[in-house]
Amino acid sequence: MNKQTMIGNLGRDPEQLQSQTPMCRFTVAVTKKGYTTQSGVAVPDHTEWFNVLCVGKNAEIALQYLHKGDKVYAEGETYTSEFTDQQGVKTTRTEVRCERFEMLTPKQQPQTQQYAPQPQPAAPQYQPSPQPQQQVPVGVYGQAVQQPSPQPQPQTQQPAQQTYWP
C-alpha cells in the first residue's frame, strides 16, 4: 500500500503546469514539534517539505483557492519520476500525487468590502438605590462634629438567686 497523508502549510502559490489536462504543483511544509528528552536534551522542531501534484478538478480548485501560507490536508500516492533537465542532467523527483485535499485555513472576507463595526447597545449602568442620609451634627464653625461611636455596653451578670431549705 502506498499512501501519504499530511497536514501542513503551502510554501508557495500553486504553479500551473503546461498540459492538456489541468495540473498544478505546490509544496507543503510539515513541522514536527520539538521536545526535550528525559535526560534534558532539547530536540528542536523539524520541518519536512513535500512536493504535491494535483491533476484534473483538484488542480482547478487548488489554483483558484490555495495560496502561500494556507494550511492544507492532503493525501495521495507517493511516486518518484526520472527526467533529464534542460542542461542534460538526469534528475529524480519524489512527489505526492494528490487524490484528495482539504483547505484548513478559514475563508478570507473579500478585501473590497469594508465592514464598519456595528454600534453595540449600551450596557445597563448600575444605579445604587438611594440611601437615607444621616444627619450629622454641625459645630460652631459649620464643621461636622464627631460623634463617639456607640460602644457595646458590658453585660453584668447578676448573681443567681439562692434558695435555702429549712
Task: For residue 74, give the C-alpha cell.
Answer: 492532503
Query: Is the separation of the CB atoms in 98 and 28 below 8 Å?
Result: no
Report helix, strand or coil for 108: coil
Q: How many CB atoms lie within 10 A of CB 72?
A: 21
Percentage of residues of the chain with pLDDT beyond 90: 58
Q: Where do the structural domains in the chain lie, given as residue ranges?
A: 4-36+43-103
Superfamily grouping for domain 4-36+43-103? Nucleic acid-binding proteins (2.40.50.140)
Q: Where are the alpha helices (H) located in 54-140, listed in sequence order?
A: 57-65
In a 13 Å sphere around the CA of 38, the CA atoms on its Cβ side amount to 0
Q: Where are the alpha helices (H) located in 33-147, listed in sequence order?
A: 57-65
Q: Which residues pair with 72 in a beta bridge?
A: 8, 103
What does the mean pLDDT of the chain come to? 81
Per the confidence metrics, is the pTM higher than 0.85? no
Alpha-carbon distance of 25 to 28, in angstroms, equals 10
pLDDT of 96-131, one tens digit each? 999 999 999 887 655 555 555 566 666 566 566 666
Residue found under cell 529524480: 92
pLDDT of 58-80, one tens digit each? 999 999 999 999 999 999 999 99
Determine the longest span between alpha carbons in the chain, in angstroms: 138
Rounded to 5°, angle at Cα 77 from 59 and 44: 95
Closest CA to 77 of 28, 6, 13, 9: 6
